[in-house]
């Protein structure tokens, strides 16, 4: 399979900025989305030179945006003293628990499984990230989970 050429960052930004901003507004609200949007594309710019191919750039930037939103949510809600759940401190976030399990899945299935079960994105958002329909995203996640079950059984 031929690798897709990585477009210049300016074109990548122009093609994805509106969808990423809308995604962030849905996740954390319009007020905090501005800063998260800037942080998302700053992280994307920093990682852009190390990309190996141009496939699934949309899923990649949605993953960055979701991580920025999660980080923002953690900063926005400081824990009250005495409310720290010691057991949860040792647990990895859901996306980190899934990423190594999904490594051997085909790319679309891997992305769909991690975005759905690791980041709890809706199938509509996953479809947008993968540039496919909501139904295709649902099917990719379902197929990925079936493959994982067979492999782990």
Location of each CATH 1.10.1740.10 domain in the chain:
1-79
The confidence score (pLDDT) of residue 76 equals: 61
Please, what is the angle between helix 9-28 and helix 57-76, to 10°? 40
The domain 92-153 is classified under which CATH number: 3.30.565.10, 3.30.1330.30, 1.10.10.10, 3.30.950.10?
A: 1.10.10.10
Distances (CA, A) of 69 to 10, 24, 26, 29, 153: 23, 7, 10, 10, 34
Tokens read off for 73? 């949510």
Mean pLDDT computed over every residue of the chain = 81
What's the CA gap between 118 and 11, in Å, rounded? 29
The confidence score (pLDDT) of residue 84 equals: 46
Tokens read off for 131? 């540039």
What tens digit of pLDDT does each residue of 45-94 get?
A: 999 988 887 778 888 999 999 889 888 877 765 544 445 444 444 455 66
104 or 42: which carries more pLDDT confidence?
A: 42
Location of each CATH 1.10.10.10 domain in the chain:
92-153
The confidence score (pLDDT) of residue 89 equals: 45
| Percent of the chain with pLDDT strictly greater than 90 | 28
- For the 1-79 domain, the top CATH level (class) is mainly alpha
pLDDT band at 97 (very low <50, low <70, confident <90, very high): low
142 or 130: which carries more pLDDT confidence?
A: 142
Tokens read off for 37? 């949007």
The confidence score (pLDDT) of residue 88 equals: 47
Tokens read off for 4? 């897709």
What's the CA gap between 136 and 131, in Å, rounded? 10
Global confidence as pTM = 0.55
């Amino acid at each position: 399979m031929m690798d897709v050429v990585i477009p210049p960052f300016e074109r990548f930004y122009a093609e994805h900025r509106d969808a990423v901003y809308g995604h962030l507004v849905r996740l954390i609200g319009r007020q905090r989305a501005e800063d998260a949007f800037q942080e998302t594309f700053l992280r994307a710019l920093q990682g852009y030179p190390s990309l190996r191919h141009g496939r699934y750039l949309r899923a990649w930037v949605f993953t960055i945006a979701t991580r920025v939103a999660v980080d923002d949510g953690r900063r926005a809600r400081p824990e009250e003293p005495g409310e720290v759940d010691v057991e949860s401190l040792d647990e990895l976030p859901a996306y980190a628990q899934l990423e190594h399990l999904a490594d051997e899945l085909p790319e679309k299935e891997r992305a769909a499984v991690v975005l759905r079960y690791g980041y709890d994105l809706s199938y509509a958002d996953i479809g947008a990230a993968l540039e496919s329909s909501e139904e295709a995203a649902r099917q990719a996640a379902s197929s990925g989970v079936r493959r994982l079950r067979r492999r782990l059984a």
